[in-house]
Structure 1
Amino acid sequence: MGTHAQGKKPRRRGRRRIVDYPRAGRSGVRRWLPSWRQLLGATGLFVTAVAVLFVCVYVSVDIPDENAAARREANVYYWSDGSQMVSTGEVNRQNVELDQIAPSAVHAVIAAENETFYDDSGVSLKGLARAAVNMARGKETQGGSTITQQYVKNTYLSQDQTVTRKVKEFVIALKVDRKKSKDEILKGYLNTSWFGRGANGIEAAAHAYYGIPAKKLNPSQGAMLAAMLKGADLYDPAVGAANHERARQRWAWILDRQVRVGLMTKKERAKYRTFPEPRSRSRSTSLGGQTGYLVDVANRYLKQHTGLTDEELAHGGYEIHTTFDRARVGRLERAVRRVTARDLDPKKRPADRYVQVGAASVRPSDGALVALYGGPDATEHFTNNADTSGVPVGSAFKPFVLAAALQHGVSARDLPVSDVASLRAPAAGVRQSVLADSHYASDGTLSRSDGAPDPDRPTLREALVSGGNATYVRLGKDVGQDMVRRTAVAAGLLRQSMAPLEPTFSIGTSTPSAIRMATAYGTFANDGVQRDPYSVTKVLKDGEPLPGLEPPSSRRALDPQVAQEVSDALRSGGKHLGVDVAAGRTGDQDRLKSAWFTGFTKDLSTAVTLFRLRPGEPQLLPMSGVAGKKSERGNVLPPRIWKEYVG
């Protein structure tokens, strides 16, 4: 027995693990499933770690200096020579006390933005979680913030959409909620929030949208302003039909929301069924005259090319260098005023009432917009007539039809066989006058002119500058209206300004802006090389340039011979001005409700349009009788403005 005991080996016991994972004594999937004790421990450890981390962050983050963080700067605009054009001044904001704001407007904001404002701790855990998820997905972190958090963002922090900024916002909001009363926070929020139209704060917004102080806002107006907090870029009703509909729906929702949360009675809600239309957009007196139009064009250009928003621009601090030539802008404005004052008499001639003028000058070599005339005063007539669509261009469109014919040819049946070969060879340097000096014969074919003028059958060159609408309707059909449209767009007109392809398309039913007409004619002046118009050369923020503002690149739209032939044909249209200029214009055959003149030299292309439009109405008024019986339906005025400008 002793021998047997001596030969037995003791069993070796395994060392006990601190964490039994993977779990011993289990097999298969159960080996990898944690026990409830392990789950509970892991959860407790995670919660403890988060709590410790939060305490560390809470202790380390202090409330910044409110005044320094909330300070806003002006935007400064410069002429092309580097001199200052205008400073937009300090941010349009007037701080007011809560008792200077209509209670109904305050209720609208609370109902729309944070119905539990007076009861919550100033933060939204759901909003912070959503920010983290959105950040992980590569989306913006905004959304779900309380009024306190939005006040903190407006007053203490940058506008960057990052998780770090969101965490700081959360912590500072907790501290601000403990340090300030709810009324102080609400007052700060209403005074610092962006409402669009350059208005920071509800007092400035009330003046911008309704011309009254915030104290006089009625519940309907207050709900409309509360809708702007969602994003004025998308909700300002004056910007367009889509914005208007969004604003109307948001306005109605806010009023209904006040009823649901107990801030308005159903009886009071029933009083407001009509959307409270705000006043037309306006600018401060520093943006009067042409300055407001120039700033508007520059802002739109830089927003399109840099991604800046209206809200970011309103925060200020940008140095914006433009292409506008101060001397030319002043000269163009004086030319319009002199001609209209001399030739229009609205007191004696009813047809002279509601006459409006738009004009723009572009440098063909690089597309720089050097001058424009948008209307009499940007603070009274906000619509920029130099950059508006809706005014048919008439016979001033014919050069694009001729260019399409010269560039792409017409069908072989329209020319004698001997002429087709030369027409098809522009690249070899053959002049295009084969077509430009042809006319439509009685059999409907294009034939070479024998040199003798024939008013019944003008050549394409002759019909370009005086009458000949029927000739160009036929030419557009023979070339192909789609080809004409493509040629016009390649030259610089916008596709969205093109009219439907109907028989009259080739004689100017399209509605380009004066800026785009000057640009497209500039393509002829630039030997067929097209450049898009631009109005901003550089923008500096804190001394650093913003990307995306390089001058537009050039592209060949027409063969050089085609551009030169069109230019030569147009020169006869400018002979009556007494200067060497190529020009296209509307004429007495045009029955459209507008008058145009576009003339260019090698250095400058300028388009002038004249039309009648009663304020607040979308339809153009007739031009018959404008400037008297001998004015050719007002068609003499745009050339006179052009001559006064360049002379």
Structure 2
Amino acid sequence: MEIITNDRLQSWIKYIRAFLFISVILLISFFLFIGSIFIYAKSKGAPPLWVTQSSIIYASDGSIIGEAHNGEKRYWVSLEDISPNVIDATLAVEDRRFYEHSGFDYRRIVGAILADIKARAKVQGASTITQQYARNLFLNHEKTVTRKWNEALYTIRLEANYSKDEILEGYLNTIYYGHGAYGIESAAHYYFGKTASELTLAEASMLAGIPKGPNIFSPFINEERAEARQRVVLQSMVANGNISETLAKEAAEHSLQFGEREHLPTEYMAPYFQDAVRSVLRNELGLGEELVKGGLHIYTTLNPRLQHIAEQQIAEELDEESDIQVGFIAMDPQSGRVEALVGGRDYEESPFNRVTQAMRQPGSTFKPLLYYQALENGFTPSTPFRSERTTFQFDNGRASYTPHNYKDYYANSEVPLMQALPVSDNIYAVKTHLYLGEEQLLETARKFGIHSPLQAVPALALGSSPVRVIEMANAFSMLANGGTNVTPIFIDKIVNYRGEVLFESSPEKERVLDPDITFVLNHMMTGMFDRRLNGYMSVTGNSLVSQLSRPYAGKSGTTPTDSWMIGYTPELLSAVWTGYDQNQPLQQREQRYTKNIWAEFMEEALEEKSVTVFRPTDGVVGVQVNPESGLLASKECPGSRLTYYVKGTEPTEYCQKHGEETEQQIEQLEKREQEGGKSWWQKFIPWL
């Protein structure tokens, strides 16, 4: 038996002490190292959780009409809007102790190492959900030491700065489910045609198994492998205590009904309108970068019903074999909200927007702006000018201009403004323009929101300077709402993926037109559809009268290459342009397209609405007037029309053109005209 001497014992004690000392130093160093890593990660602050997402565009009724993305279909949803089945299935198969660890599952790491050693190969992973989220957000998938180190740092930063629920929500919104679907919401729509909140246990377990290998476990690639992976997920949920064996078996045997592989639940519509929305985002709101990054929820003013009516009427009216193009816009004139827009016949063939981009001559639709200016400068509906073939001299006599009426029809006598406007007498318009001064119409056009370049020439009265359809619609909206400035509105509200409101429409309204003059002009513009104003020419809406069931104000316009119709009620305005992109002359039958499209649209759009009218302001007075003379109608006059004037400017003389009348006869005439000779809606609305 060997006896341990005191010296040897002292030596062993010395070695043990040294070992313990070194171990303590190493342990302290290890904890200091780990602590410094945590302190460093914490000092770096919260890493941004932003990922590229799809921006969704909504109609006014909340339906989805389109999206913007950079190739990755991803729609962010909150954890509360994700089915508990998805959450349980994902945690069970990916990270059972997610809510217990601090970003690294050390038990799982040791188990993975032992499994790899036993198999002498990489057979088991140990990445937690936080580690996977860090990799998806900030790193590539290279298997290098540097990438692993950075992954660890980002994992610590995520755990140190965000709650477990925030991390899980971000993970479920960023993982890849195959076929271009990023995030659970996109996957739910793509595979099952429903939202993430609606997923059943069977559907959730199928989806939860896909991220491990989207090209292997997608049911659209290999249904057998997908079902095997689903069973693995379900057994993991059983082991985790989420479900029973019975539920797992039922889910595994349940026959899944797959969707139509659409990332969104509805088809796209109104592509020209969507382009206009994107233009507003970039050029007016400065949100172009946010649109590219995505994650925006863009709530627009589009009315799907009115959009459908507009597209249907255009398709039915225009000749399929013709290359004629169209621009259409419908607005709420009170607010400026654009409710329907068609910028061309086929977006796929030509995305050029004829409403917001094309510059076309407005023709006679420009005359209401001129006549507002005239009324503002002392004209009344009875102001006469002689209608006859006329050559005008301008530019100090160095130039001349000879306009023509339709088919060279002239009264060859004086006609009042109340008739010249609805029959669209060009001679009257040019005389008015030159009388007031050529520069004055430019100022009035700016007041009406026309910003396109205009030339101060005699022909401007007849719409010779090109403008955009949206500008004319906006100008007429100011008449329809009684004189308040409006701006076309495409977007109601924009919200980012976190629910923060980035923009909300709140237009400031300002009255820029005189309300009395505006009403007088609106009433004169209803004359376009009143056959009592027919004379040496027919009113320009003569062909539409039988189609209309309510009072409208409006104006048409025609040039050799352009056909326009703009008309409105107090609650709805629509403007239509048709023509050829290359300025090919229009045939006579093609010139009728705009009026027919406009009339059919307005009638169908308003069919369920009560009749609304332009109510007289306090500063106007209505009297029965002979449309041919502009004087108070007498008994012998063949016709009369209730006409409104700014108080103090109404005529006081009776028409002598058809014979003198006694006071008693005049009273009988006025009573007769008020009670008879009107359409059904005029009998109930006496001021029209």
Q: TM-score, normalised by structure 2?
A: 0.47
Q: TM-score, normalised by structure 1?
A: 0.50
Which gives a bigger RCO, structure 1 or 2 (Cα 8 Å, sep 6+)? 1
